[in-house]
Amino acid sequence: MENIDDEYRNYWETNTFLQTEELDCYFDESMSVSYEYDSSSPEGMQSSSSPPSKNIVSERNRRKKLNEKLYALRSVVPNITKMDKASTIRDAIEYIKSLHSEEKKIKAEISDLERGIMTSSSNSDNSEFNQESCCKRKRTKMVRCIDPIEVIELRVSNMGEKTIVVSLECNNKGDTIIKLCKAFESLNLKIITSSINAFSGRLFKTVFLQGDEDDEDDLRVKIEDAIAALNNPESPMSY
Amino acid sequence: MENIDDEYRNYWETNTFLQTEELDCYFDESMSVSYEYDSSSPEGMQSSSSPPSKNIVSERNRRKKLNEKLYALRSVVPNITKMDKASTIRDAIEYIKSLHSEEKKIKAEISDLERGIMTSSSNSDNSEFNQESCCKRKRTKMVRCIDPIEVIELRVSNMGEKTIVVSLECNNKGDTIIKLCKAFESLNLKIITSSINAFSGRLFKTVFLQGDEDDEDDLRVKIEDAIAALNNPESPMSY
DNA sequence: CATTACACGTGAGGC
DNA sequence: TGCCTCACGTGTAAT
């Protein structure tokens, strides 16, 4: 209670002539004197005033160091949105993430380029498949290596009212979504609604389309064929 | 009095996932009670006790947020030496620097490889811009005219529980689905579930992802930027 | 005028 | 023991 006063006496002085932290340096040296003879009375008064003023200067140093670190962090991150403390960390996180993805992309590029050098004139084979790197050059010529779509469940059922429901579950890796969409596009169906849902590493596609009940089996094999064709790098699909 | 409880409810959450503060709490509670009915007399008593208990909870939240951010930062940095606060930032800084140098190295390697390709397969185009040009060079072949994604509505909203819902409506022509998927892939979000629905010439994408409420605006502009980048044929996106 | 961000001093706990 | 790290509540300043 009563020690609040002398604590806050220099607290005022502290805050009056500095507000930003980069200035405490000279404040630190000049003012720290007042803290010094504070430490000369280690347990002179009662409870709470006994150990301070050695702690507070080290704590102050700790804060200062930490802020300097944060400032340094801000200096290595290019896209700083706000000078805010939390924003600094957030931007750093996002920047690291972007660097990660970019690194992955670039590594794929490199292996792509190396492969391109290897097989620049001869498209001999792509027996070992390096997924991911292939999808990029797709338009040039097909010869694509893929991670195949593994169909877990495929149901084609009639709902009545000339409506057929296709529900398909498969794994979800790489560009499975894209390929799946292409597979269905290629069938030229009379689609009423279509939806894809992804969670826990799997993909769930549901399509409502116009059709009679006797189209069910045809449609099932068509879908299976389209997916198989997309899985096969030799096929004219997978443009 | 009664808001003490909900203050300290998330106060518990705060301290549970980080280390050894468990014991301060009930000691602190007794202290903060004295502040509480102090606040009933807004400036009845002396200086320092008038406006607390609204500030202190927000300040507590701020610290919590900041610590979570720091924790997240630690999660994206592979080589963490100590669980220390300052060490986290220091490690992050060094990691970013190492990534920088590695990036430079890799880019040099890429341009080397490209030079090798150029000599072997005689490519004539852009000699300037050798960084990033690797991506563009692939695209010189495909120079496709794209039908751009026309965003009709984009909503990014927080659901609480650290969950953000992104709901996007746009036109659906050509390979809009594919481009949209790529745009979201490039953002490296912590996706919980994702769904795309198509009907009547439009596309509806809904994504549930992990994130705080203060990430909303950032996320929105990121999505907008990713789509804009994808619409722009000159951009390094749209590989 | 409210919210936000910040630095401060302080006590506790871990070496 | 002393040092270090931390979360806390608080006053101040800027948005």
Q: What is the pLDDT of residues B39-61, one digit of tens each?
A: 333 333 333 344 567 788 888 88
* Residue percentage of chain B with pLDDT more than 90: 3
User: What pLDDT does B126 receive?
Assistant: 30
Closest-CA distance, B170 to chain A, in angstroms, reads 14
- The verdict on A56 touching B (C-beta cutoff 8 Å) is no
- The verdict on A23 touching B (C-beta cutoff 8 Å) is no
Confidence of residue A217 (pLDDT cuts 50, 70, 90): confident
The C-alpha atoms of residue B148 and residue B170 are separated, in whole angstroms, by 10
* DSSP state letter for A162: T
* Residue percentage of chain A with pLDDT more than 90: 2
Query: A205 forms bridges with which residues in the sheet?
Result: A168, A196
Q: What is the mean pLDDT of residues B120-142?
A: 35
Query: Which sign does the torsion angle of CA B122, B123, B125, B127 carry?
Result: negative
Q: Provide, as residue numbers in chain A, all residues whose Cβ is less than 8 Å from the Cβ of B99.
A: 96, 99, 103
Cβ of B191 and A198 within 8 Å? yes
User: What pLDDT does B223 receive?
Assistant: 92
Q: What is the mean pLDDT of residues A177-206?
A: 81
The 10s digit of each residue's pLDDT in A73-123 is 988 888 777 888 888 998 898 888 888 888 877 777 777 666 665 554 333
Top-confidence residue, A138 or B110: B110
User: What pLDDT does A146 receive?
Assistant: 56
User: What pLDDT does B56 receive?
Assistant: 84
The 10s digit of each residue's pLDDT in A17-63 is 333 333 333 333 333 333 333 333 333 333 444 456 778 888 888 89
pLDDT exceeds 80 at position B208: yes
C-beta of residue A216 within 8 angstroms of C-beta of residue A156: yes
- Highest mean pLDDT range out of A163-172, A199-208, B142-151, B206-215? A163-172
CA of B176 to C1' of C3 (A): 42
pLDDT exceeds 70 at position A170: yes
The C-alpha atoms of residue B78 and residue A136 are separated, in whole angstroms, by 29
Q: What is the mean pLDDT of residues A197-214?
A: 82
A39 touches strand C (CB under 7 A): no
- What global pTM score does this model have? 0.44
Least confident range of A62-66, A221-225, B229-233:
B229-233
User: What pLDDT does A17 receive?
Assistant: 33
A116 touches strand C (CB under 7 A): no
At position B83, the amino acid (one-letter code) is M
**Residues 6 or more apart from B124 whose CB is under 8 A from it?**
none
Cα A65 to chain center, whole Å? 30
Minimum-distance residue to C5 (CA–C1'): A84
Q: What is the mean pLDDT of residues B211-216?
A: 78
- The verdict on A110 touching B (C-beta cutoff 8 Å) is yes
Cα A184 to chain center, whole Å? 29
pLDDT exceeds 70 at position B190: yes
User: What pLDDT does A118 receive?
Assistant: 53
B54 touches strand C (CB under 7 A): yes
A59 touches strand C (CB under 7 A): yes
What percent of chain A is helix, strand and coil (3-state, nearest 5)?
50, 15, 35
User: What pLDDT does B116 receive?
Assistant: 61
Nucleotide nearest A70 (Cα, C1'): C6
B59 touches strand C (CB under 7 A): yes
H or E segment to which residue A116 belongs: helix A85-118
* DSSP state letter for B181: H
User: What pLDDT does B174 receive?
Assistant: 64
Tokens at residue B237, please?
A: 């996106």
* Residue percentage of chain A with pLDDT more than 70: 58
The 10s digit of each residue's pLDDT in B145-164 is 456 888 988 988 877 667 88
C-beta of residue A146 within 8 angstroms of C-beta of residue A129: yes
Number of A–B residue contacts, CB under 8 Å? 142
For B32-59, b/e burial (b = at least 16 CB within 10 A) is beeebebbeeeeeeeeebeeebeeebee
The C-alpha atoms of residue B142 and residue B136 are separated, in whole angstroms, by 10
Query: Which sign does the torsion angle of CA B111, B113, B117, B120 carry?
Result: positive
Q: What is the mean pLDDT of residues A134-153?
A: 54
The chain-wide mean pLDDT, for chain A, equals: 66
Cβ of A69 and B86 within 8 Å? yes
B29 touches strand C (CB under 7 A): no
Nearest to A86 among B69, B117, B198 (CB): B69
Closest-CA distance, A128 to chain B, in angstroms, reads 21
